[in-house]
Amino acid sequence: MTGALLLGETGVVAVVVAVKGLGRYPELRQNPGASERFVIGTLASLVWAAAIGYLGRWLLV
């Protein structure tokens, strides 16, 4: 995600999120408690990656 943001390809972010969710779907469907942790963890990692990506892009421009 950070690389996509550094390159200015924001559409790739949607693909990354979709693939991540689809890859874990069977596990999340069986364990409802894991789905909450997955959503919170995914949000946290995406926020960090976006912050680093935008900071890097700002520094490069």
Domain boundaries, the chain: 2-60
* Structure letter (DSSP) for residue 10: T
Which pLDDT belongs to residue 52? 93
Which pLDDT belongs to residue 37? 86
Q: In whole angstroms, give the CA distance from residue 33 to residue 40.
A: 11
- Cβ atoms of 5 and 46 closer than 8 Å: no
- Cβ atoms of 8 and 57 closer than 8 Å: yes
CA dihedral of residues 32, 33, 34, 40 (deg, nearest 10): 110
Q: Where are the beta strands (DSSP E) in 13-60?
A: none
- Which amino acid would we find at residue 43? L
The pLDDT profile of the chain, 61 residues, written as one tens digit per residue, is 888 888 888 899 889 888 888 888 888 788 878 888 888 888 999 899 999 989 998 998 8
Which pLDDT belongs to residue 51? 93
Which pLDDT belongs to residue 10? 84
Which pLDDT belongs to residue 32? 78
